A and B are shown apart, each in its own frame.
Chain A
Amino acid sequence: MDEETDFDVIVIGAGFAGAATAFQLLKEGIEGDRILVVDRSDPIGGKNMTGGILWGRELDAFKEYLGNWEMDCPGIERCINHKKVGFLNNEDALFIEGRFASWDGTGGTEEPSQRSAWSVLRAKTDAWMAEKMEEAGIFVMAGVKIDQLNIDGLEHTSYDARDLTDPSKDSGVGKAQKWKVDSLPRDVVDKIRNGTITGIVQGGEVMTCKVVVIAEGSNSILTRAYDFDTMLHAQSKEDMLLGIKEIIHLGKERIDERFNCFPGDEERPPSGMAMELALSLYREMSHEAWEKYPNTKGLYPRCGGFFYTNEETVSCGIIVQLKSLPEGLHTYDLYQAFKAQPAIAALIEGGEAIEYGSHLCPEYGLNRMPHRFTRDGAVVVGDAAGLVFANGMQIQGMNYAIHSGKLAGAAIGNCISRKDVSAKALDATYTKSLKASFIFRDLKRFKSATKFLNHPSNFTWVPELLGKTANRVFREIGEEKIPAEKVMLKTRKELRKINKANKKGMGFFGIMRLGLLTRKL
């Protein structure tokens, strides 16, 4: 600890979590030239992808470095004051829509007047944040991928970085999966798993530091390889969502008009709309797939749709629960079905797709968190630590990333000044504050929400029943008028005849059980 290191702290990943950690370290009094932030993308931000909405004003804590980030950051697109949730089937779309004056943040409302949600485009945002980090004196290196961490008393050449993610020859399937690194001598494996981390290795070159911060994001190789999270392989698909989205260019004026947005002025960013949907679009596609691939017969893909307005473009995409993907269905075709749904097609009409992308989203909740957040000389923050919240009403991850970065920065500053960066000291500060923060309180309170969110009914008959019932109640095509309740019962009866999945889920007890689950949302 006393010998001189190249840096005090090295942060791997210049996303929100990594940047927040670095800024917080500055606030703790660590010199900027003692902090190194590396990112594998060049330019920074080029690998980042989100839905996405940034919730909450966590960035306000770094005003001294970021200034008026809400107006100045090119990737912060529109302030959300218009939120929709809804149900989509192939023909019908049923929305609950909210427009909230207090979300404009212009004052004069009974509810607290505050802008607290923005649509973001991460490539631009992160590049801008990296600039601000450099302005604040932090070392930022773009285009640097970290292969290995440097471990005290272990030559990094004694194992190959590739071995960490390469299945061994005798690898079993699923839980018995083994990696090449597992078959190395026992003491090497022990060092990799439990040794003191003293820096990073990049292209055979070691850079030493007191604490390494792993902020690699949802697809973190290092957390898996260095035994924070043993789950990031086959069996973790349960809680992994795959997001697929297109950026569709519509032009600013057309978006302002189509979504009734405030165009923005010198004090206030333009306003925008955020929409999240439960999808039941895949009955025919699934049935066709089952015929060819009967292994997964009866499995419907559980997909949610999202649609966010950016300044000149819209982000339109889906998230798929990987566990629910049946054989025979390509994930991108699932996206096409969403895009072609008449209600969505109308929103993007006349637009031109300018980017396609995809990203994993860890929704571990508390059950599948990394089994530790710290090691001697290292901590893990943000998505890499699985800090994502979803309860159906809200999906948040970026604010959790920023907050965990703040907590990590504060803890590391404290530990460095006390000259003790052992796992124990970092646990007593970082892990403790993380567990006391709103992140863990939220995750705990809504622990059982996933049960409802993963419920197959929400992706099969619920959107169909609601959409169809609304359609039949509101229309006038010369039918006998009957009360809405009766219409719903009649629709239910029809849907139950379609297939077994519906029949089972739509029984009296099935509906009761589903209803009871919603209490926890």
Chain B
Amino acid sequence: MSETQKIGLFKYDVKNGLGLVGYNIDDHEFAHIIVDIKKCDECSHMMCVWGCPAQCYNFRDQGLEHMKFQYEDCVECGTCFILCDQGAVSWNHPRGGFGITYSHG
């Protein structure tokens, strides 16, 4: 048993995981999620950061002062929309044919 396993701390290489999925990324002006990052400054919990399974939200956990959001890696699960109670997330599905495409599901 390796050292990390013994103390029970685990890190998933999420970027590698996301690399296994196909995307058809839409232009910026059609981004399906829009985050009002000014509102994030006052957020005390950053639940979007912890909840998002695709690491689309990067904030104080990465040593950043302001929220940095990118929609490109989004797996369209809707977690951030549910977890954000600051009214900062405007969530919609990407335009037809855009976004993630699973080949297995």
Residues of A bordering B, CB below 8 Å: 40-43, 45-50, 75, 90, 121-126, 142-145, 161-162, 165-168, 171-174, 177-178, 202, 218-219, 221, 232-234, 236-237, 240, 242, 244, 246-247, 281-285, 288, 293, 295-296, 313, 322, 325-337, 339-340, 342, 353-360
* Cα distance, A142 to B24, chains bound together (Å): 15
Provide the residues of chain A in CB contact with B17, threshold 8 Å.
246, 332, 353, 356
Distance in angstroms from B105 CB to nearest chain A CB is 4
Give the chain A neighbours of B64 by CB distance below 8 A: none
Give the chain A neighbours of B12 by CB distance below 8 A.
330, 332-333, 335-336, 339
Can you name 21 A-B residue pairings with CB atoms under 8 Å?
A40-B97, A41-B97, A46-B100, A46-B105, A47-B101, A48-B102, A124-B105, A165-B91, A165-B92, A166-B90, A173-B87, A177-B85, A218-B78, A237-B82, A288-B9, A296-B45, A313-B104, A331-B53, A335-B12, A357-B105, A360-B78
Nearest chain A CB to B87's CB is how many angstroms away? 4
- Beta-carbon nearest neighbor of B12 in chain A: A336
CB distance from A401 to the nearest CB of B (A): 15
With a cutoff of 8 Å between Cβ atoms, the chain A residues found around residue B104 in the complex are 121, 123-124, 247, 313, 354-355
Do A172 and B87 touch across chains, with their CB atoms under 8 A apart? yes
Please encode chain B, from 52 to 92, with 1 for each CB lying within 8 Å of some chain A CB and 0 for all others.
Answer: 11110000010000000000000111110111111111111
Contacts of A330 in B (CB 8 A): 12, 14, 49-50, 55
Q: Contact check, B105 vs A332: say whether CB atoms are below 8 A apart.
A: no
The answer on a CB contact under 8 Å between A167 and B9 is no
6 nearest CB pairs, A to B: A356-B17, A143-B97, A284-B8, A171-B87, A123-B105, A122-B105
- With CB as the reference atom, state the residue of chain B lying closest to A43: B101
Chain A's closest residue to B86 (CB) is: A173
B contacts with A: majority SS: loop
| A337 & B105 in contact (Cβ 8 Å cutoff) | no
Task: Give chain B nearest CB distance to A145 CB in angstroms.
Answer: 4
B62 to chain A, nearest CB (A): 11
Complex Cα distance, B89 from A167, in Å, reads 7
Residue of A nearest to B46 (CB): A327
Whether B55 lies near A281 (C-beta < 8 A) is no
Contact B87 A244 (CB under 8 A): no
B101–A221 contact, CB under 8 A? Answer: no
Contacts of A49 in B (CB 8 A): 102, 105
Cβ-defined contact, B105 with A125, below 8 A: yes
Q: Across the interface, do B93 and A40 meet the contact criterion of CB distance under 8 Å?
A: yes
B101 CB contact (under 8 Å) in A46, A174, A334, A358: A46
Q: Are A357 and B75 neighbours in the complex by a CB distance under 8 Å?
A: yes
Provide the B29-46 mask, 1 if CB < 8 A to any CB of A, else 0.
Answer: 000001010000000111
Q: B20 contacts A356, CB within 8 Å? A: yes
Q: What is the bound-complex CA distance between A121 and B102, given in angstroms?
A: 10
Closest B residue by C-beta to A240: B82
**Contact residues in A for B36 (Cβ distance below 8 Å):** 167
Residues of B within 8 A of A143 (CB): 96-97
Give bound CA distance, A162 to B54, whole Å. Answer: 23
Beta-carbon contact of B51 and A242 below 8 Å: yes
B8 (CB) vs chain A CBs: closest residue: A284
Q: Measured between alpha carbons, how far is A282 from B9 in the docked complex, in Å? A: 8
